[in-house]
Amino acid sequence: MTSDTPAALVAEAGALTAEAVATLEAAGSVAEVAAARPELLGKGSPLAGLRRRLGALAPKDRPAAGRALSEALSEVEKRYETRLDELRSAERRLQLEAERLDLTELHEPPQVGRLHVITQTQRRLEDVFCAMGYTVAEGPEIETEWHNFGALNFPPGHPARDMYDTLYVDHGPPGSTLLRTHTSPVQVRVMQNQSPPLYVVAPGRCYRQDTADATHMPVFHQIEGLVIDEDITLGDLAGAIETFTTAYFGPGFTSRLRPSYFPFTEPSAEFDVQRPDGTWLELGGSGMVHPSVLEVCGVDPERWSGFAFGFGIDRLAMLRYGVDDLRDLWTNDVRFLEQF
Ligand code: FA5
């Protein structure tokens, strides 16, 4: 009988390992690798068979040869696992690719709205007056008759108080509550609640029983201005209007005051703006705050004086954007409104 040598055993183990690695590399699928396992690593595999030949070695050679066999087996085991992992990931990738779903959906871009042209105009006016040092005040749209008329010197029989002009609200004693007909009651509230010097504008909605036409709406917007300080004169009013006109409309526009009458200002004036083409447009009313209004609101007329003005924001928007008919601003036709 030919006796085995450790060297022959180790050499054979090396050759079987190389063969097993080649088989694993050549396997093209997880199933193929798994199927090769018994043949490469099972009890009946040629490598395992080498173990049985250890007994034929001289006892002193057995440990080293045994170690070499174990290393060969664990090397094949390692390559087996690695190859299995590689093929599993490759198969998973292929599967994912094959099952891939395109979940993207095409949407129209969202429709972005815009501020109504009246709101844009109001904000621009606020910006211009804030730049001139004014602050913005607000007052209620449902007002007392006293704030809207009484405190502002409207005598009891004044036509503006008539129910054909003013929308009264069914609240409290008859005739005591109304939808404000102008922003001037905010003057009263500001003077009652703040101490001079005052530089304030108050924009907001107003209501009158006016029939809707190209230049009138029953609901419209005004912006009120109020300045109370020491030694304020009509010259300051004219200067403020002129500064505003150039700041808002730009160079080439100018303004003028025309004598007029309002019960709460003395003297009173309408103010007009001249366009670069030379034509004039009436914008609103103004005047020096009447001493009795100052007194009613708790401001000492001996020490303080001031001016006020108020004009229509809707009419200003018409002018600026070339709108011919105020009613177009209210019908809410998006095709019309999105031009601004
Ligand atoms: C007033 O309302 C006074 N409160 C203005 C004022 C304030 C005078 C401070 C003195 C001191 P009048 O009724 O004229 O004034 O209105 C002022 C502006 O509001 C008008 O010039 C116009 O631009 C606008 N307006 C008035 N009624 C309507 C309406 N029905 N529709 C649209 N705009 C209007």
Q: pLDDT of 111-168, one tens digit each?
A: 888 899 999 999 999 999 999 999 999 999 999 999 999 999 998 888 878 877 999 9
| CB 285 less than 6 A from any atom of ligand 1 | yes
Outline where the chain has alpha helix (H). 6-26, 30-41, 46-52, 62-99, 117-131, 145-148, 185-193, 234-249, 291-296, 313-321, 334-337
Give residue 298's pLDDT: 97
Q: What is residue 283's predicted lDDT score, i.e. its pLDDT? A: 86
Check if the beta carbon of residue 121 is closer than 8 Å to that of residue 320. yes
Q: Is the CB of 222 under 6 A from ligand 1?
A: yes
Query: Which residue, by CA, sits nearest to atom 22 of ligand 1?
Result: 312
Atom of ligand 1 nearest to the CA of 309: 9
Closest Cα to atom 21 of ligand 1: 284
Pair of tokens at residue 43: 């009890």
> Using a CB cutoff of 8 Å and minimum separation of 24, what contacts does 91-99 make?
91/29, 91/30
What is the 8-class DSSP label of residue 166? S
Whole-angstrom Cα distance, residue 228 to residue 299?
9
Residues of the chain with pLDDT under 70: 1-3
Q: Name the closest-CA residue to atom 15, ligand 1.
A: 285
* Rounded Cα–Cα distance for residues 117 and 336 (Å): 10
Helix (H, G, I), strand (E, B) or coil at 287: strand
Mean pLDDT of the chain: 92
Give residue 1's pLDDT.
Answer: 40
Give the pLDDT of residue 3. Answer: 60
- Pick the atom of ligand 1 nearest to 285's CA: 8
